[in-house]
């Protein structure tokens, strides 16, 4: 599994690796040395091999930084050496700069490659590898920029682990939180790295809306996963609210299993996890996302009735109204059923099927 950079690229790789292992194969993660994929592989009990991986973000002149290209080239050499010794049956690339060395190295060695594209626009690293890939598995029926005949719709692989609500709270509290299972729980999560906009903008709104720790008279609480680098700056701002719980990192299956309503970005991975767990969302798309794909993702979820879109530039004005609207029991119930209808259950198995077939 060649992957890395963000949770949206890493967690589908972990889910697919685990599915392939259940079928009797062996699977490993190949990504950036020291990247978050290394920790994810360790937590999942998967073998990891790290290489250099240059970021292919474009400079002000519209061209990749040559120094980053050199890093990527070095990573290809390192990955090629490792793959030549391993001779895997296939390499699956999940997009993002950290996946590119493994995929290009595999193609140079004649090892079959399959790509998984999470978004409705084929990303830069995927475009570089798609021509020589056996197939491109997709999370959308149509993907802009995909060569004709390459696409295979499988959905977005997620970790298919649901936890009984009481057990979910027990796991979260064992990690140092003090949540109460009987309270309506709002999950604030800005992705694997956290979101500065959500970390700064959401607490003041919820302080006002959940005055006294209630929503429409129902006891409520907040579980806010800030990302590791932001916890120490967010926690003091809500230290006087006993119902507002801040953590840098949270076990995702437990958090989603405990949540009644989510306030998140609109990356495909986040939306897929929420749908799998049947959690309604208030989505604040990242304005800088490539081709504005998060905005379009959020629109699709809103159209399906499983969430509400809150533009980042109107967060302080509109989020409170959306929380009050979606916090009503009947509305939450309708949105929860709409979310479950969008569940990506079985996507990891469908991608594993494709890898085996090719």
Question: Which positions make up the binding site for UDP-N-acetyl-alpha-D-glucosamine?
Answer: 6-8, 119, 159, 192, 294
Contact 189, 284 (CB under 8 A): no
Q: What's the angle, vertex CA 141, arms to CA 348 and CA 115, rounded to 5?
A: 50
What lies within 8 Å, CB to CB, of 128 at 6+ separation is: 100, 104
Counting Cβ atoms within 10 Å, is residue 239 exposed (0-12), middle (13-18) or buried (19+)? exposed
Distance separating alpha carbons of residues 265 and 309, to the nearest angstrom: 10
Distance separating alpha carbons of residues 264 and 282, to the nearest angstrom: 6
Q: Which residues lie across from 32 on neighbouring strands?
A: 51
Distance separating alpha carbons of residues 102 and 108, to the nearest angstrom: 10
C-alpha gyration radius of the chain: 20
- Binding site listing: 6-8, 119, 159, 192, 294
Residue 251 vs residues 175, 195, 203, 221, 248: alpha-carbon distances, Å: 9, 17, 21, 18, 11
Tokens of 282: 């208030």
């Amino acid at each position: 599994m060649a992957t890395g950079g963000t949770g949206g690229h890493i967690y589908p790789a972990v889910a697919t690796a685990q599915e392939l292992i259940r079928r009797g194969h062996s699977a490993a993660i190949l990504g950036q040395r020291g990247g978050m994929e290394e920790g994810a592989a360790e937590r999942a009990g998967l073998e990891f091999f790290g290489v250099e991986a240059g970021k292919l973000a474009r400079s002000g002149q519209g061209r990749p930084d040559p120094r980053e290209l050199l890093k990527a080239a070095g990573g290809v050499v390192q990955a090629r050496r490792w793959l030549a010794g391993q001779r895997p049956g296939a390499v699956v690339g999940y997009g993002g700069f950290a996946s590119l060395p493994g995929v290009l190295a595999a193609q140079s060695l004649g090892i079959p490659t399959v790509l998984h594209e999470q978004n409705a626009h084929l990303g830069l690293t995927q475009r570089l590898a798609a021509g020589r890939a056996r197939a491109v598995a997709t999370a959308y029926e149509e993907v802009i920029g995909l060569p004709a005949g390459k696409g295979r719709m499988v959905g977005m692989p997620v970790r298919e682990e649901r936890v009984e609500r009481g057990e979910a709270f027990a796991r979260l509290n064992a990690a140092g939180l003090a949540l109460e299972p009987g309270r309506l729980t709002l999950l604030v999560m800005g992705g694997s790295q956290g979101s500065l906009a959500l970390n700064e903008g959401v607490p003041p709104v919820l302080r006002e809306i959940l005055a006294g720790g209630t929503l429409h008279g129902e006891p409520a609480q907040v579980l806010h996963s800030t990302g590791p680098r932001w916890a120490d700056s967010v926690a003091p701002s809500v230290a006087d609210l006993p119902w507002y719980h801040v953590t840098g990192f949270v076990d995702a299956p437990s958090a989603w299993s405990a949540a009644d309503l989510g306030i998140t970005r609109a990356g495909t991975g986040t939306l897929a996890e929420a749908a799998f767990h049947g959690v309604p969302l208030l989505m604040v798309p990242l304005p800088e996302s490539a081709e504005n794909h998060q905005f379009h993702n959020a629109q699709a979820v809103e159209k399906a009735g499983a969430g509400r879109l809150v533009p980042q530039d109107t967060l302080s004005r509109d989020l409170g109204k959306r929380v009050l609207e979606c916090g009503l029991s009947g509305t939450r119930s309708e949105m929860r059923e709409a979310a479950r209808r969008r569940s990506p259950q079985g996507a990891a198995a469908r991608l594993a099927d494709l890898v085996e077939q090719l």
